[in-house]
Structure 1
Amino acid sequence: MPSFNGAVLSIAYAKNVVYVGGDFTAAIVNGKPVARGRLAAMDARTGALLPWAPVADGRVKALVVSGSSAYLAGDFTTVGGQKRDSLARVDLADGALHSTFKHAVSGRPMAAFAAHGRLYVGGTITAVDGQPRTRLAAFSLSSGKLDAGWRPTADDQVETIAAGGGRIYVGGKFHKINGLPGYDRLAALDPAGAAVVAGFKPRPPVITYALAVTGDAVFSAHGGQGGRVSRYTPDGALKWSATFDGDAQAVTVLGDSVYAGGHFDRACSTARTGSQGACVDGSDNRIKLAALSAADGHLLDWTADANGVEGVLALAGSAKLGKVGMGGAFTTVEGRQQKRFAQFSA
């Protein structure tokens, strides 16, 4: 796989291709830089860098593949040399910019997910096209238009969005959703009308950075005094929680395993942490990346140590290919130089 000269912040698999977005301006292939403007694509089977190369002039924080298009969200003002305010749609075949997805955004989009015919977006958004929105918005995947009916509100920023089981799950720093208290940091919404799903009220005690949803589970990655990865049932009950000595910033599920990434160095033996999140009751080394049993959360033997302060910032899996991709700010993996993106066979 190529390396990159800046952080990889988002990963999406489609067929045999893995797409990445981030802060980079070049991919590194056989030691030589190849220009890539914060977006790139690779053959997930061979590792070859593909010619797909749309150019964004600022950070791509979220990249979502749906149908024949990739939807982008971030801090950019142009894509392909044309004005796009924080949101854009490009073709998967040739990277061409679509005209049907052009909006004026107040605030920063930080997360996106495609489901139910919509692109759901979250962040610090306050308005889209002059229409008030409170940190959450949705757009039609077919027409690109702002959805007039999906208008939930959050009282603080949204860091992550996922879908499953007929719900839209949102996580972040907030304490209220739609003005309702008690939905701290993680909530579920109706995908059409945006009503809060009252039966899902897990209330994690620390910020939610990332979500992965399966048919019967919601997996979440959290920061705090030490980080954690948790599994919740669809009715909001905590099934298990695993603790680390630093923030868990990314999570994905493949088969029976949950993969967690962050800037931790150890997986704690218990939930107790001390100064600066240090494990109190023993630990196992897991540097920036760990694998857990989806069933009960026990730590698996697999290790793939990375380096860096920020560590792993994005994870994605492909069941079809049996691959897990990780992105972030690391420069080595398993003791070998591999900058900011790596892929593993599950």
Structure 2
Amino acid sequence: MSYRGKVLVAGLVLGAALVGVEPAAAQGSDAVPSFNGAVLTIAYAKNVAYLGGDFTAAIVNGKPVARARLAAVDARTGTLLPWAPVADGRVKSLVVSGSSVYLAGDFATVGGRKRDSLARVDLASGAVSSTFKHAVSGRPLAVAAAHGRLYVGGGFTAVDGQARGRLAAFSLSSGELDARWRPTVDDQVETIAAGGGRVYVGGKFRKVNNLPGYDRLAALDPAGAALVVGFRPKPPVITYALAVTGDAVFSAHGGQGGRVSRYTPDGVHKWSATFDGDAQAVTVLGDIVYAGGHFDRACSTARTGSQGSCVDGADHRVKLAALSAADGHLLDWTADANGVEGVLALAGQAKLGKIAMGGAFTTVEGRPQKRFAQFS
């Protein structure tokens, strides 16, 4: 459990001096476009940030520029790029792999071509792939690319007429539905992340492959979909987002208030940081974990009231916070956003030292900045 300036782990109180120099968080926000609707997903590819969401226009120098739920921004200069495929409905999640951007959402067409909730778009031209076309019964909500596969999770029950239990995979080379990777969960998948030779899934579920006791967060074999039985953290509340590094799994949760947690690959809980509202996004850059959500305060202890309010004191952190990856203690950095929903997506670009956030906010650091921001 995290406490202001210190962390309680395995019964020992560890002061900041024991974990070395205080991590240096991102500084101020960059000059980047705003958007007229929520930005729900962000993925970096080299020097470009690709965005998806509910928007129909970017706002550049106060003027709208048409962008139908997909856009690209030069991460170095903040310039809106000409990449502009058109989706006719919400883009909930996207991921970059090779020369392609994979999309999942509530759309029926992309680039004028019929695409049922899933699509593949060229990274440079925005052209829609003719070889990646599938029928989905239900809603895909999350995508990840690794191990030669596109992994998809959500609330769907079939793909191309073949039963799937809210999880499916596709070949990145051929685009075909993977016949072997067929795990099942008993409730909605909100997030997928790959790392350490595993595929991690989070959401509302309590059973995985019909086995109980793997509530809301589980790990699967990337090829055969077998459950990794040694990873069994069982967070008590819904898992909204995941970020995986070589030796850690970071998760963002809702509940009475919200929290961000760190687990080992063996499922051992290392720390949690608690907020007075849902944590809906998480990413890692170096030795810092960034958390986003619709919280206004970081709680001094793990205790929250009936409406999620901090009981034992709190620090002001509006929609965005930075934490030490080592022990979870709250860092001094602030970049307050606003709005009810707040921050819904986070992404990091290590080589450029950039953090991007998307959501439903309209101000950042007290200045107008609608629904997308980037920090250096």
Same fold (TM over 0.5): yes
- TM-score, length basis structure 2: 0.92
Partner of 1:131: 162
Q: Which residue of the partner structure matches residue 326 of structure 1? A: 357
1:316 offset after TM fit, Å?
Answer: 0.2
Letter in 2 for 1:333: V
**Among 84, 97, 102, the residue aligned to 1:71:** 102
Which one of the candidate residues 218, 224, 238 is aligned to 2:249?
A: 218
- Which of 191, 195, 205 is matched with 1:160 structurally? 191
The amino acid across from 1:191 in the alignment is P
- The match for 1:236 among 242, 260, 267 is 267
Structure-to-structure mapping, 1:81-120, within 5 angstroms:
81-120=112-151
Q: Which amino acid counterpart does residue 130 of structure 2 have in structure 1? A: S
Q: 2:56 aligns to what?
A: 25
Q: Find out whether 1:40 has 2:40 as its counterpart.
A: no
Matched, 1:312 2:353: no
Partner of 1:263: 294
Alpha-carbon offset, residue 100 of structure 1:
1.2
Matched ranges for 1:293-312 at <5 A: 293-312=324-343
Give a deviation string over 1:281-322, Cα, whole Å, max 9, x none: 000000000000000000000000000000000000000110
Amino acid at match of 1:340: R
Across the two proteins, how many residue pairs are aligned to each other?
345
Query: 1:188 aligned to 2:228?
Result: no
Instruction: Tell me, in whole angstroms, the C-alpha distance in 2 between the residues paired with 1:195 and 1:125.
Output: 20
Consecutive unaligned residues of structure 2, counting only runs of 5 or more, are 1-31
* CA distance, structure 2, for counterparts of residue 20 and residue 7 of structure 1: 10
**CA drift at 1:275:** 2.5
Say yes or no: does 1:277 pair with 2:277: no
Could you report, residue by residue, the CA deviation over 1:210-266 in whole angstroms, capped at 9, with x for unpaired residues? Answer: 000000000000000010000000000000000000000000000000000000000
3-state SS of 2:131 partner: coil
Per-residue CA deviation, residues 126-184 of structure 1 (Å, 9 max, x unaligned), is 00000000100000001100000000000000000001110000000000000000000
Pick the aligned partner of 1:179 from 199, 210, 215: 210
1:327: Cα distance to partner? 0.1
Which amino acid in 1 is paired with 2:273?
Answer: A
- What TM-score do the two structures reach when normalised by structure 1? 0.99
1:94-135 superposed Cα distances (whole Å, 9 cap, x missing partner): 100001110000000000000000000000010000000010
2:131, 2:241 → 1: CA distance?
A: 29
Q: Which amino acid aligns with 1:87?
A: L
In 1, distance between residues paired with 2:246 and 2:131? 32
C-alpha RMSD of the superposition = 0.3
Q: Which has the higher contact order (CA 8 A, sep 6+)?
A: 2
Superposed, which structure 2 residues align to 1:187-206 within 5 Å? 187-206=218-237
Instruction: Confirm or deny that 1:141 pairs with 2:172.
Output: yes
SS in 2 for 1:276: coil
- Could you tell me which residue of structure 2 aligns to residue 12 of structure 1? 43
Structure 1 runs of 4+ with >2 Å offset: none
**2:368 matched to which residue of 1?**
337
Instruction: Provide the rounded CA distance (Å) in 1 between the counterparts of 2:109 and 2:188.
Output: 24
AA at the equivalent of 2:320: L
Give the AA of the match of 2:311.
V
2: CA distance, partners of 1:164 / 1:46: 30
Letter in 2 for 1:268: C
